[in-house]
Amino acid sequence: MDDSFDLIVIGAGSGGLAAAKRAASYGARVAILEGDRVGGTCVIRGCVPKKLLVYGSACGHQLADAASYGWRLEGEGAHWRCDPALLLANVRAEVDRLNQLHIAGLAKAGVQLISGWGRFEDPHHLRVSDSQGGDRRLQADRVLIAVGGRPHRPAIAGAQLGWVSDDLFELQGFPERVVVVGAGYIACEFAGILSGLGVAVTQLVRGDHLLRGFDREASAVVQEGMEAAGIDLRFGVNPAAIDGEPGDLQLRTEDGSVFGCGGVLLATGRRPFLAGLNLEAAGVAQEGGRIPVAADQSTNVAHIHAVGDVTDRINLTPVAVDEGRAFADTIYGHRPRQVDHSLVPSAVFTQPELASVGLGEEEALERYGSEGVKVYRARFRSMAQALPKSGGRVLLKLVTEAGSGRIVGAHMVGEHSAEIIQMAAIALVMGATKADFDRTMALHPSVAEEFVTMAN
C-alpha cells in the first residue's frame, strides 16, 4: 500500500473536506484522516442538527398561533404533544444520512479516507491510530490541519456531571427542568430549543448581557423575546459546583444560590482541538491554545497549513470552507487567493432569530466617533403576528458612516433574519450606501422592505 501523498488533511470537517476535494480536483494525491464520523462539528453535532431542533421547537409556537388563522383541533381531549425522543431520533437519522453522503463525496473526488486519529512524527510524517489498535505511518509533501474545536468545560467541581452541547444530540429525551450556563450563541440557541419543547429553562449569565460581540441593541431584543417565552435569565451569576446524580442535579453558584434541575448544559465556549496532534514534533507553533496562520493559511512551518476553528479566528463553517478552497486553489490550482475575513455575516438561531453583518453600533462608534456614525432603525410587529397578536417586535438596523453614507453594519432580529441578512451582505460587500438602499424599490408586504424604506 502506497502511504505517500501530496497532501494529508487532518480532520474531515467542513474546511478539511473542502480542501481535500478541491486539491484532488487539481490532480493532487490526497488523504484525509478522521477519527470520528465524517462531516465535522457542523454536520455531526453543530449547525445542522441544532437547526433541525430549532425547527422542531418552533412548531410549538406555530401551533399556538394556529387558532387565530382558523385552525383548531376538534374532538374531546384533542391536544398537541411533542415527542422529543422521536424528534431526536429523526435528527440523528438525518445526520447519519449526511455522514454517508460526505463519505461518498470523498470517494467520488478521489480522496482516500483513512479512519483514525493522526499525530505528527516529524514535519513530513504522521502516525494514524485506529479503534482496533492499528498504527500506520504516512508521508506527506504538505499537511493541512483542520481538526476544528471542542466544547470547553469550566473548571468547577462536578463539571463532569453537566452536559456540553455535543451531548444533547445523543439524549433520548429532555428532563422537565434544565439550567443553561453561558451567554453565547450556543447557550441562547439551546435555551430557546429546550423552552420551545416544553422544558423549564433557567439561564445563568456571568456578565450583564447576552451575545457578547453582537450589536447590543440587537442582543437586547433577543433577550426580550427569550424572557417573553418564559426563559428565566439570571445575570451576574457565576457557577461554583454541580452535585447530585444524573437526572437530579443541583447547581451551586458563588453567591450561595442553588438551582435544582434534571440537567445542566455547560455552554461556556469552545476551544481548538489540539490534543494528541503532537505539534511539537513538527515544529508547529501554538499561541494561546490555537494555531496562528498567515494570510495564506500557512503556519510557521512552510509546508504545514491550518484552516477553520483550529486557528480560532472567525469560527464559522463557510469561513472554514473558503479557507480550505483558497488553500487548494493557491497551492494546487496555481490560482493564488486569500480569504477576505471582513464583512462575514453571522446568525444566531435563537427565538427570535438574530443575524448581522459588519459593525455593530458600539464598534462603529469606537472606530468613527459619535459624529461619524448615523444609525437607522425600524421596530414593529410583523404581519405574521397581526392575527395572533403575540410575539415581540422585530428590529431592523443600519449603521452608516456619516460622511459617505456607506453602510458599515446591518442587523436584524426577527423572522427569517438569516435569510434576509445574507442578501444584505452582498450589498455591504459591494460598498452600498444608504442612498443605494433608499432608491431600491420595496417589496411589499414583507419584513425586509423596511431596510429600503427607513426614513432619513
**Are 274 and 310 spatial neighbours (Cβ–Cβ below 8 Å)?**
yes
Question: Which cell is 448 given?
Answer: 425586509
Mind giving me the DSSP string for 41-81?
HHHHHSHHHHHHHHHHHHHHHHHHHHGGGT----STT----
What is the biggest distance separating any 2 CA atoms in the chain, rounded to whole angstroms?
72
d(C-alpha 89, C-alpha 173), whole Å: 10
Q: Given the C-alpha cell 414593529, which residue does it identify?
A: 380
- Grid cell in block for residue 29: 494525491
Side chain identity at residue 222, one-letter code: V
Alpha carbons 13 and 317: distance in angstroms, whole number = 9
**C-alpha to C-alpha distance for 380 and 428, rounded to whole angstroms:** 24
**CA–CA separation, 380 vs 200, rounded Å?**
28
Closest CA to 202 of 138, 259, 246, 270: 259
The span from the CA of 407 to the CA of 226, in Å, is: 29
Q: How far apart are CA 388 and CA 67, in angstroms?
A: 8
Nearest-angstrom CA–CA distance, 14 and 144:
13
> Amino acid letter at 298?
S
Q: What are phi and psi of 408, to 5 degrees?
A: -105, -10
The residues, ordered by sequence, that sit 6+ positions from 65 with a Cβ below 8 Å of its Cβ are 385, 387, 388, 390
66 forms beta bridges with none
**Strand duo 4-10 + 200-205: pairing:** unpaired
| CA dist list (Å): 207 to 91, 211, 234, 266, 441 | 33, 10, 10, 15, 42
124 is catalytic: no
The amino acid present at 322, given as its one-letter code, is D
Which position among 152, 334, 416, 444 bears the catalytic label? 444
Question: Quick check: 290 and 250 in contact, CB under 8 A?
Answer: no
Rg of the chain over all Cα atoms, to the nearest angstrom: 24
**N- to C-terminal Cα distance for the chain?**
69
Hey, which residues are catalytic here? 444
